[in-house]
Structure 1
Amino acid sequence: MQRRRPAFAVPASVVAITTIIGALLVASTAGSAYGHGLGFDETQPTVIGNRQVSVEATMSPSSIEQVSADGRQQRPVFTVRAHDAGTNSTIAGMDYRVVIERGSDVLLDQQFRSPDGLVVANLVPDAGAQQAEVNGQTNAGRVEVSKDKPVQIRSRIMSDGGLYHFAVTLEKSSTGLALESDRTFDLYVSVSKTQNFAVPVKAGEGGEQENVTMSVKTYYADVTDFSYDPAAGISFSMPFDWSTEYVKQVQLVHMEVQFPKAVKDLQVNGYRGAINGVELSPEAVLIDDYSSENLRIVHFVLNNDKLASLSQRVGGSAGDRMLFALAPAGTPKFPIDILSTTEKYLWQLSWGPEVIETGAETTFVMNVQDTQTGDLVRNSSFDFVLEKEDGGGGNNGGDVVVYRQHLSSGQGTFSHKYTFSEAGTYRLAAENINGSGESAQLDIVVLQGKATTGSNSANPPQQQPPSGCLIATAAFGSELTPQVQFLRGFRDNYIMDSQAGSAFMGAFNSAYYSFSPQVADYERKQPWLQSAVKTGLYPLFGILLASEKAFSVAPEGEAGALLAGATASSLIGAVYVSPALAAGVIIAAKRNRSKSIGVRPAAVALAVAAGSLAATALLLATGGSSITTTTAAALSVATSAFVASLTAAAALAVASLAGRLILLSSK
């Protein structure tokens, strides 16, 4: 039996989103997944006889709300076929056995003979059916079927949404394929289901309660325990097997949370998402203000890498449930990914200061990306538009455009400043992207500032200091590129999340910001330098990925941060520093000044690293959860010494070994 990963809940919008955030879905499933999952799945090609063969299954419609047995909406159908992977032509003369399961229930187990290779089944959903009826018969034996002669199946198939497992067997008796034995293929097809929940919320200034409808669209299993609290946000759960073996099979988990934009406590500029108490990174929680005029939709998007990491962190405490939490964030997590009207473009957006207030100049940083490649779209343009609800004072009775400016960029990156004069909810939009009619939009909240000076203030407030990665930003063209966001995410999620890491970053930033702005400014003017820095940074991404793995296998907290730091420091020394030292060894040897670097310098550096690590551990143990100013300063010195000495030790060791090998080979 050919086993493959189920493609849980992958609608077109999520495929586009995950393509943009560094092809995370593709990277985590390249060896197994081949289909989409939502309403459709397809196996990887496999050699049978002298042909490359794929098997596919389709369920239509892909949403349970569209299903109708009486024909007033859309009559449900499933199809199964085997086809030539090279030509996509259906293989005629096939015998199939099709088993369909939902959860632990077997809904169909039927053999078919198809002269044209197609199994087409018109479905009559019946939630009370105990056994499937094929053309009015139970235990019908092998049934002939084709495109022009579909079968009718009354069963529990499509009586509810969720994940359907198709086990399709190509039987040896088929005349269209040279099968030495039966071959079984597993496919996983999702049918979405929207669950509605009546939630009491505060209405008006008097504190009266009224019920509003909040919804969860699930592609996997039924949601339970839905709750809403103005302070804590939204939470709910669903069944999920957290075992390592099962998680390896899961390509993607996608859930959509929908709530009225009128719920003021939830109309914020950003959210914190968590699974079983573990906070998620920004790209896993996506806001959609475009699909509905009155509803905000927030997507949870968890690919296989994220699920594997979550599985390791939540461990056995997770039980058999996946617990979702969505809470308003004091400040948004950037970048915010927004798809255009038909998902042709992705508009990435961030701004500073993070809390938007009237009278304070806000800088919006944006880029336009191709959803198919994830690349910046060069020579791009759009209309930067701000709309505000009329509030009944105007003649439109809707949104009023308060600002419009056409922006263009040869690099595909944009920066634009605006000062808001009125508090409230605004619709920020990129309209007519590249003249295509495509638009993307997000509702943002502007708070009342301490002093409103208007957009033409002669003394705008000082902007926040840069958030880091200046040299990398200059190399890749925008702080919103996936590469820069990866570097920033590693800093925020692994280094800054611990006391030791925060202490090190304090010392690092003092040195880094003393020269990086000047270097970044010069770099932007020198294309050759941008290319060189870009090339030089790529090994760092691999190093940080290895450090992430080290973090995931260590206990949570300070131990994980220290192990990740040790891994990164050692590899940075070996990859970036050792070549210069090795070159020095060769030059010195040729001038007869030295033959090689001895082991003593590396040993000394390693001893300093060990001492610094011990000092760091001692300071963390004595400081506890509350670190004094003196302890913080000492911790900054200790962590900096640990990183520097471990980098030096790795560089010296590799340079010594490389120098010896090169000198020996030259004799």
Structure 2
Amino acid sequence: MYKEFFPLLLLIIFPYPNVYGHGFGSDTISSIGVEDREISITVTTPMYLDNSKNNTITIKATDEESKKAIKNLTLLIGMYHKNEMIFRNYFFSPNGEINLNFIQSEQKNLEIIGKKNDFLNSYIASESNPTKIKGPVFETGGLYDFEIKIRTIGDEKNVIEGPSYSANVSIADTVSFTETSSKDQNVEFEVKSYFDNIRNFEYLPDKNTIEFEMPFEWNAKQISHIPVVHVEVHIPKDFEEFLTPSYIGKVNDVKLFKSSLTVDDYSIEDERIIHFVILQDHLKYIQNQLEETNIHQNKMKFTVTTSDEIDFPIIAMTEDEEYRVDLSWEPLEIQPGESTKFIFTIRDGETGELLRNSSYDFVLIQNGEDIYRKSSNVQIGGGFEKYKFSEDQTGPTIVRFENIRGTDYQTEFGIVVTPEFGSAIAIMLITSILLIYFSRTKLLKLR
């Protein structure tokens, strides 16, 4: 359930610009001058598609000064996906909120069902009486573009002549891919985009690299509308050749800032999620690098490559950021038969200050079962635990701190215990917390 809240956190951490705020699930066109007032129009779509039920789009017009809805609103609305028009019609609402109820069906042609207003032949699409649009509308997620033109406000016969405006809303698009590992085994990958559709996915085992593409226009006007581009790459936790301490991310061969790539091993039990979270200033940086090539580019080419670099300490936060645990270990390469020291501190999640006299349960988990558990207390807010793994205790291992300071809060990390002559080094499986609450502290650290 936690994974569904991460995009909502993005809406909070990275608020959309006031004008043409390109959004995930919502977009607002602000400061539209109509007669003697300033109007804003907000388009809201489902964030996730669910073809088992109807999906609703609302378009609401508001007076920016009074914050009241615009009465007797008529809009010319065009909806487009992948440069193809889905519909373009007049819609009317007496209360300023146009509601379009989409019914997914296999019929070939789109059907608009609803009562019509005699004036401008517009469909009545109020909250209590929404217009139904039936057909193959939301077959995939991605970027949906809306053309909006105001035709009446205040009085249903008060016709307005003015320009068209654009709103752009992203609906999460999830695509699965089957690729071959270096051992010729099939591996299931999944990519979830909160911006546009993913294409040309490929895993390159000889380079330990994942590549994929997404449509994107690299120009200042486009980027000014976009507060963040967010894409998730899901990989199985048992796919050990791609489980490394960290990753190197690139877009169009431009290396990303550390803060643009975040790892989450907590949201889904059997998957690691690698998040590309590229903020507007990072997009501008990439654009500047691309301009030096003098080659027009209309896509984002994402690459993520394994890396053995570890930046200690690894930081994890409890669910509501109440507590923070910093962890490192030595030796860096964890092998059976050798004692490993896990060094940690327990801190205030907001201030980062050490929390003295902190109780905790230190737990090591393999294959879903506890292999070691110890309850203890640190007087100065930090300490260490030692453990020697046996020869049969190799592979992915979760390091968990439970019942922190007598509460139900916990944090998780992970390691890979390698055989004595294994080529891999011990790695961090869980750098992260619940990503719905991934911390500002961590973002500042990674910057």
**Structure 2 match to 1:272:** 248
**Structure 1 match to 2:310:** 332
Q: Match of 1:57, as an amino acid?
A: V
Secondary structure, in 3 states, of the residue corresponding to 2:281? helix
Higher relative contact order (Cα pairs below 8 Å, separated by 6+ residues)? 2
Q: CA deviation at 1:125?
A: 3.4
| Contact 1:384/1:407 (<8 A) preserved | no
**Structure 2 match to 1:310:** 286
**Structure 2 match to 1:123:** 102
1:16 is the counterpart of 2:9: yes
Q: CA deviation at 1:267?
A: 2.3
1:10-50 CA deviation, whole Å, 9 max, x = no partner? Answer: 9752563697xxx6x45xx6554658x23223344667677
Cα RMSD for the two superposed structures: 4.0
1:79 is the counterpart of 2:55: no
Secondary structure, in 3 states, of the residue corresponding to 1:247? helix
Q: CA deviation at 1:229?
A: 3.3
**Structure 2 match to 1:191:** 171
Q: Match of 2:202, as an amino acid?
A: S
Question: Out of 109, 115, 118, which is 2:88 matched to?
Answer: 109
Q: Against the structure 1 CA distance between its residues 330 and 249, is the aligned structure 2 distance closer, same or farther, given a 3 Å change threshold?
A: same
Q: Against the structure 1 CA distance between its residues 217 and 234, is the aligned structure 2 distance closer, same or farther, given a 3 Å change threshold?
A: same
**Structure 2 match to 1:454:** none
**Structure 2 match to 1:441:** 412
| Contact 1:388/1:426 (<8 A) preserved | yes
Q: Match of 2:211, as an amino acid?
A: S
Secondary structure, in 3 states, of the residue corresponding to 2:234? strand
| Contact 2:399/2:413 (<8 A) preserved | yes
Specify which structure has the higher proportion of helix. 1
Q: Match of 1:387, as an amino acid?
A: L
Specify which structure has the higher proportion of strand. 2
Q: Against the structure 1 CA distance between its residues 168 and 401, is the aligned structure 2 distance closer, same or farther, given a 3 Å change threshold?
A: farther
**Structure 2 match to 1:200:** 180
Q: Match of 1:225, as an amino acid?
A: N
Secondary structure, in 3 states, of the residue corresponding to 1:313? helix
Q: Match of 1:418, as an amino acid?
A: E
1:128-183 CA deviation, whole Å, 9 max, x = no partner? Answer: 756x4311899x94111211211111354312110112233332454399997546
**Structure 2 match to 1:55:** 41
Secondary structure, in 3 states, of the residue corresponding to 1:324? strand
**Structure 2 match to 1:212:** 187
Q: How does 1:519-598 map to 2 (within 5 A)?
A: none
| Contact 1:133/1:154 (<8 A) preserved | yes
**Structure 1 match to 2:429:** none
Query: Aligned partners of 2:42 and 2:404: how far apart in 1?
Result: 36
**Structure 1 match to 2:269:** 293
Q: CA deviation at 1:236?
A: 1.5
Q: Against the structure 1 CA distance between its residues 240 and 421, is the aligned structure 2 distance closer, same or farther, given a 3 Å change threshold?
A: same
Tell me how many residue pairs correspond in the alignment. Answer: 413
Q: CA deviation at 1:329?
A: 1.2
Q: CA deviation at 1:318?
A: 7.0
**Structure 1 match to 2:438:** none
| Contact 1:38/1:189 (<8 A) preserved | yes
Q: Against the structure 1 CA distance between its residues 163 and 198, is the aligned structure 2 distance closer, same or farther, given a 3 Å change threshold?
A: same
Unaligned runs of at least 5 residues, structure 1: 1-9, 391-396, 451-479, 490-667
| Contact 1:287/1:336 (<8 A) preserved | no
TM-score by length of 1: 0.53
Q: Match of 1:323, as an amino acid?
A: K
**Structure 1 match to 2:201:** 226
Q: CA deviation at 1:400?
A: 4.2
1:427 is the counterpart of 2:427: no
Q: Against the structure 1 CA distance between its residues 302 and 365, is the aligned structure 2 distance closer, same or farther, given a 3 Å change threshold?
A: farther
Query: Aligned partners of 2:250 and 2:413: how far apart in 1?
Result: 22
Question: Out of 59, 78, 87, which is 1:99 matched to?
Answer: 78
Query: Aligned partners of 1:408 and 1:126: how far apart in 2?
Result: 63
1:512-536 CA deviation, whole Å, 9 max, x = no partner? Answer: xxxxxxxxxxxxxxxxxxxxxxxxx
Q: Against the structure 1 CA distance between its residues 319 and 176, is the aligned structure 2 distance closer, same or farther, given a 3 Å change threshold?
A: same
Query: Aligned partners of 1:294 and 1:75: how far apart in 2?
Result: 31
Q: CA deviation at 1:402?
A: 3.2
Secondary structure, in 3 states, of the residue corresponding to 2:24? coil
**If you compute each CA radius of gyration, which structure gives the higher value, 1 or 2?**
1
| Contact 2:208/2:242 (<8 A) preserved | no
Query: Aligned partners of 2:228 and 2:297: how far apart in 1?
Result: 20
| Contact 1:48/1:179 (<8 A) preserved | no
1:40 is the counterpart of 2:43: no
Q: CA deviation at 1:247?
A: 2.7
1:418 is the counterpart of 2:385: yes
Q: Match of 1:161, as an amino acid?
A: G
